[in-house]
Structure 1
């Protein structure tokens, strides 16, 4: 382990799993120590997480046989190296020029936004009245925001979509699971330095990202509930996969820290194989809200299940501890088949990279201090599946946006009138006019409250007359029972892209 990695502290932002956090003028550098005081609450290790040790196997002790890499976990180094280049091509994920060779050249998009103004605001004057409250119900000035909505942040999950394009080419479901696992981790890296909260979308607000010709996919989000805030998301890729989710954000300020709990399942289905993966996001914790340097951690377990093959991947996001010798932001996991047999070990960090190592042999090791027996996996040399892109030049003055994030709020023609790009307070903030943005934000929120009061009055009137009242109905999504989880979720019902083609937006509400 390099000295740089040993000395690094958690200074990461949370991914789209968080509704937002708080912008501070001083951010912890990677080589600095944490300012947490001795009363800081640290998370215990997850009790159900698998305990294991990996040892790199010596290739000389493994002779090649007729077995295939996609078969049992008794793999062989020759098979690993002669695999059909799906894993090998994954090493190119850090090279943007190698992406999407079978789609059209990228359209020229903007590479910068106006620099962030140097505004100051007393954080404690606002936060002291928020302890124990649901933060989505508390009006916040744009000074704490970044010029993107939560719908746009949700779309940032797709920054490393090429991992799923590569997963399509995997013949083995366990190999495919490795790419899906790497993709699930990559979504947290997009905001590693992003300590500002996104705009809470207005009810009925939408956001589209149509990159079908350039990158092979198109994405649509809609805010389907305001309290609690919930967004529905649907992505179609002509490379051979579809992803959908409905994420509800719960956030509470605890005094010392802020907890962001994302609720809802993420679904991913591959068209040709029918492999259907489901997983949920981990909890984000924002530390040092009032005193010290702000830093954010991800902690918990992600279980990814392929409901067709019954393969599983258990990923553990290790919480930061001042006393731990582990590298910060560490993520580890094991990919198993339907019989529980381990095939791959996943390892890396949620802010930089993920690797997978093929297991060639497993055995029981010594018992840990907690009385648990650890499994020892002998593995072949790891393959890098995902590596974070470097940030653009001057990113520190542009909210630490990635190349993709810089383009998300770029004005675009023909989008729905409810699209986040058209939100006036967000546009004013991006242009550095924060005072005007705060005035506009108050106007939009009051307009939304007036609509809600009218809807509540209609509900009371319907109740008095003995009639049914459906309440708010999303425009492009509909509520259905998820056959896999049994939950009631919003799924895309179609019609948006057809309406865009005809430029028929008559059904869209007037929210701006």
Structure 2
């Protein structure tokens, strides 16, 4: 690669010059990407991705040097020799969170890392912070809420249940945020998380109790818990709960995922509300993955309509225009557009979602799902973002908490393709956790959480877990040895 090389801009058809800076044996690139607006791309910051060997360098509007892996160390093993029905037939009607599942049905991530995937489209929050109109901010918050569940598309592997006291941290200076999560309860399993902008623009936090049940042909997940987003500049707070999730064909056929239910996003400062209906598939699959809803002001006047698919994209349009075009079913087709710039040389390594959402003329694109790597199917259907979550860089050792998911030996062994070791380590960790619980019961000692405490949500007054601070002070001597 030359010191200066041109890259094709997928949006404009133009070219971008990137300057390479040497750093040991690897090339490092510094770039400052300007924000760009177009009819279908006025909601996302411009990005570039440059490949060096086995890693990618992501270049954002912020000057950054973020190096992340683009694949897992070992591909997913075949599940063809295993019958999920053979295990689940004894669990019909039971809550699966209380049952130890065989590791063959897992993916090499903890549930704490899985909920971190809510942050994949954080640029939507940053964009909302810059807008002066509260309805436009609500549109982007709605897009963020939908995008938060988009990574579940085709993700049929079960994340590892976090151990009590397990934590996960993620600092993304290129995206302008940091996150900490903790497993605060084992029975019932409750995961609490807290994310904040590095510029103090927003706070995003919540607690999730994933209640799983098996109904014979499907596994249903009810993600109990409230999501709270606070925009500091506008002194606004938004709350919502996630939709239901269901995995179908667990006995016979190809597994597929459905999200359904009503999601209400409330702006507690303006009393504006967004109501999103995640459509159930229906008899003939016509409503599969569809999302439809509206935003209303405090007088309950409908201000705009939102439509799309949680697996693809989300649009907004005026209610009158939406009604004229038959409530989202016009005959016209949208032109194809991508939300960020991709070098021409990378086109072969990304898998684009075929656009099946019909765009109504006059619509504004709020969000489009990022393309997945072409080898995603061999990597547990992970997104590019998910690929990076369990990466343990040398600089992290001795810095992150000893309870961090990245240090779990069973997940690490599975990621490296060593299933036998993963099974042994999983059994060892579960027995160690049970032994610790017996010791606490013997001493009549209650478990004490480290970074969160139970309390009511400040806006909904429902049960929640509140971040108490202090994690990033890096004082971890009091943490238990859970691994």
TM-score using structure 1 length? 0.74
Aligned-pair distance for 1:380?
6.9
Distance in 1 of aligned mates of 2:433 and 2:410: 14
Deviations 1:334-377 (A, max 9, x none): 011111111111010000000111346799999xxxxxxxxxxx
Q: Secondary structure at the match of 1:175?
A: helix
- Describe how 1:44-63 pairs up with structure 2 within 5 A: none
| C-alpha spacing 1:456/1:168, structure 2 compared with 1 (3 Å) | same
- Does 2:387 align with 1:406? yes
Structure 1 residue aligned with 2:153, among 192, 202, 215? Answer: 192
Which deviates further from its counterpart, 112-121 or 328-337?
Answer: 112-121
Specify every segment of 5 or more residues in structure 1 that has no aligned partner in the other structure, as ranges: 1-83, 367-378, 460-468
Equivalent residue for 2:3?
none
Q: Which has the higher strand share?
A: 2
Write the distance in 2 (CA, Å) between the matches of 1:89 and 1:218: 29
Give the secondary-structure state (helix, strand or coil) at the position aligned to 1:108. strand
1:454 corresponding residue in structure 2 = 439
Q: Give the deviation of 1:117 after TM superposition.
A: 2.3
Matched residues in 2 for 1:304 and 1:210: separation?
27
Q: Which has the higher contact order (CA 8 A, sep 6+)?
A: 1
What is the match of residue 22 of structure 2?
Answer: none
| Residues in 1 aligned to 2:111 and 2:179: alpha-carbon distance in whole angstroms | 14
The structure 1 residue matched to 2:175, chosen from 194, 208, 215, is: 215
Judged with a 3 Å threshold, the aligned counterparts in structure 2 of structure 1 residues 421 and 85 are, in CA distance, closer, same or farther, namely closer
Query: What aligned pairs does 1:352-501 form with structure 2 within 5 A after superposition?
Result: 352-359=312-319, 381-412=362-393, 413=396, 414-459=399-444, 471-499=446-474
CA deviation vs aligned residue, 1:130-189 (integer Å, no higher than 9, x gap): 112111111122111110010000000011110111001111111100000011011121
1:319-358 equivalences in 2 (<5 Å): 319-323=280-284, 325-326=286-287, 328-358=288-318
| 1:279-337 Cα shifts (integer Å, max 9, x gaps) | 001111121111222222111000000000001000000000133644x2100110111
- Alignment of structure 1 residues 172-321 onto 2, 5 Å: 172-211=133-172, 213-239=173-199, 240-321=201-282
Point out the structure with max Rg over C-alpha: 1
Residue pair 2:165, 2:184 contacting (<8 A) in 1 also: yes
CA RMSD for the aligned pairs?
2.4
CA contact (8 A) 1:251 1:260 kept: yes
**C-alpha distance in 2, partners of 1:250/1:362?**
36
1:444 and 1:362, CA in 2 relative to 1: closer, same or farther beyond 3 A?
A: closer
Q: Per-residue displacement from partner, 1:20-45 (whole Å, max 9, x unpaired)?
A: xxxxxxxxxxxxxxxxxxxxxxxxxx
Question: Aligned-pair distance for 1:191?
Answer: 2.4
Distance verdict in 2 for CA 1:497–1:411, change over 3 Å? same
Q: Which moved more, 1:91-100 or 1:351-360?
A: 91-100
- CA–CA distance in structure 2, aligned partners of residues 417 and 361 of structure 1: 55
Pick from 111, 128, 153: which aligns with 1:167? 128
Note the C-alpha offset of 1:197: 0.4
Runs of 5+ in structure 2 lacking a partner?
A: 1-34, 50-57, 327-359
**TM-score normalised by L of structure 2:** 0.79
- Structure 1 contact 104–215 (Cα < 8 Å) conserved: no
Is 1:509 matched up with 2:468?
no
